[in-house]
Amino acid sequence: ETGVTQSPTHLIKTRGQQVTLRCSSQSGHNTVSWYQQALGQGPQFIFQYYREEENGRGNFPPRFSGLQFPNYSSELNVNALELDDSALYLCASSLGGAVGEQYFGPGTRLTVT
Amino acid sequence: ELKVEQNPLFLSMQEGKNYTIYCNYSTTSDRLYWYRQDPGKSLESLFVLLSNGAVKQEGRLMASLDTKARLSTLHITAAVHDLSATYFCAVDASGTYKYIFGTGTRLKVLA
């Protein structure tokens, strides 16, 4: 059984640029959730995708967007990067549209300069 | 809006001592999760608590859930240095689509 994988591991971008982060869900899981974890804080829910549709969103602006593909992998896109977007981005996969136990990937560390 | 609070935020303890971390949440939920996070790493699942009165133990850690009091505890018995990490609780508020994480408890076990 393959666990949740994310790419890239680390990323450095400049303010105003755009970034795409990728996540492959655990085998058999059809739901992916994305979280942002700023340094010293707990993870904050960004949004969730279930069967290629957005299935709930946290308090993040529209410049945070996502996609889920037929194989249930997912992308997180952030436009017009700001310094405060620097964080660890975690994706988690689960089975089913409602929230159940989520399995977290290793994360992508994004630094915006 | 669901709020999840942990205390203490920081905990420095001697090896061999016992201590409890508390997780309070503000709305009805019967599913609560505990995670461990080492610096720069992702979240490692420790416990999944799915009903009132649930108690789970793994090694020196034991977690419990009281849904009526909206309280979960993570008890550490005879702490060892390897337990040094940040511990998060997360609540899955029924009918929503997201985990709400607590503020985290940074534990440092001194040799």
Q: Which of B41, B29, B25 lies closest to B101 in space, CA to CA?
A: B25
Q: What local confidence, expressed as pLDDT, does residue A112 receive? A: 98
To probe the interface with B, which of A7, A41, A101, A111 has the most B CB atoms within 10 Å? A101
pLDDT of B101 > 80? The answer is yes
Name which of B4, B33, B98, B100 to mutate to probe chain A: the one with the most chain A Cβ atoms within 10 A of its Cβ.
Answer: B98
On the question of pLDDT at A97 being above 70, the answer is no
pLDDT in tens, A42-88: 999 999 999 999 988 999 999 999 999 999 999 999 999 999 999 99
3-state secondary structure of B78: coil
* Beta-carbon separation of A43 and B45 below 8 A: no
Span B16-51, pLDDT tens digits: 999 999 999 998 777 899 999 999 899 999 999 988
Q: In this structure, are residues A77 and A71 in contact, taking their beta carbons and an 8 Å threshold?
A: no
Average pLDDT over residues B66-77: 95
Span B79-96, mean pLDDT? 89
| B80 has a pLDDT exceeding 90 | yes
Task: Decide if pLDDT at B94 tops 80.
Answer: no
Partner-chain contact A43 B48, CB within 8 Å: no
Distance CA B8, CA B48 (A): 21
Residue A103 touches partner B, C-beta closer than 8 Å? yes
Q: Which residue has the higher pLDDT, A25 or B2?
A: A25
pLDDT for the residue A85 = 98
pLDDT for A49 equals: 93
Banded model confidence at residue B55, pLDDT cuts 50, 70, 90: very high
pLDDT at B95 over 80: no
- For residues A2 and A6, the model is more confident at A6
What pLDDT score was predicted for residue A45? 94
Q: What average pLDDT does the structure give for chain A?
A: 93
Could you tell me which residues come within 8 angstroms of residue A81 by beta carbon, excluding any fewer than 6 positions away? A13, A14, A15, A16, A17, A18, A19, A112
Calculate the average pLDDT of chain B. Answer: 92
Q: Record the tokens describing residue B32, joined without a space.
A: 């609560």
